[in-house]
Chains A and B, each alone.
Chain A
Amino acid sequence: DVKVTQSSRYLVKRTGEKVFLECVQDMDHENMFWYRQDPGLGLRLIYFSYDVKMKEKGDIPEGYSVSREKKERFSLILESASTNQTSMYLCASYKETGANVLTFGAGSRLTVL
C-alpha cells in the first residue's frame, strides 16, 4: 500500500520557535506538495517540489521554507512560528500521469501558542 507519512500528527510550539514538519513518501513520486487547511479557506498550497533540490512557491509561501534533499523526503520549515500559522498541514505527492492523482498524508496539526 502506497504511503505518505507525516512524522508528527500533533505539535504544540511557542511563538518564535523553529518548526520542522517532515514528510516521506515510498512511491518514487517526483512531485511533492505542502498544503495548509483551515476552516472556511480550504486547502492552500504553500510550496511544491517537482524534483530533488527543486522548489516552487505556492499561493501562500510567506513565513515558510522547504527542503528536498532526497526524492522521498520533503520538509516544511517555519523559521519563526507565529500564532497565525496554527493550522492543519498536509503533505501530498504524485507521479506524472495524465490525471495527477494526489496521495495525501494524514496531516500534522500544529498549534502555536
Chain B
Amino acid sequence: QKEVEQDPGPLSVPEGAIVSLNCTYSNSAFQYFMWYRQYSRKGPELLMYTYSSGNKEDGRFTAQVDKSSKYISLFIRDSQPSDSATYLCAPLIQGAQKLVFGQGTRLTINP
C-alpha cells in the first residue's frame, strides 16, 4: 500500500466553483500535512500546511485533516484561472528527513 494516495485527475471546473482536492494516507505517525502547488514548467511551492487534525484557512484556501480516517483535503473557494496548477499533498513526520508526496492532482479552472 502506498503511504499517500492522491487522485491524479485531471480535474477541470468553471471559474468561481468550489474545488475539493483530497489525499488518503496510511501512516498514523504523520503530524504535518503540507500542500504544495506546482505551476506548469515550475518547481512546487508550499501553499500551506496544518499540524495534526483540524482546519486551517488562508484566504480562499482551507486545509483540512481528519486523522481518524487518515484523510487530507484542500478546498479552494471562488476558484480563479490563476489557481490552475498541480496540487501535491505531502504528509510528514516531525524530524523525518524524507517527505512523501501524493501523485499530484492537475487542476484547470476555466474562465
Contacts and interface: CB of A to CB of B under 8 A. Distances in A.
Interface of A: 4, 31, 40-43, 45, 48, 50, 56, 58, 90, 92, 98-102, 104-107
Nearest to B106: A39
A50 B96 CA distance: 11
Contacts of B49: 99, 101
Interface of B: 6, 8, 32, 34, 36, 41-46, 49, 51, 88, 92, 94, 96-99, 101-104
A interface, by DSSP: helix, strand, loop or mixed?
loop
B97 A106 contact: no
Contacts, number: 55
A50 B97 contact: yes
Chain B at the A interface: mostly helix, strand, loop or mixed? loop
A98 B43 contact: no
Contact of B32 (A4, A99, A107): A99
Nearest to B45: A104
A58 B98 contact: yes
Contacts of B46: 101-102
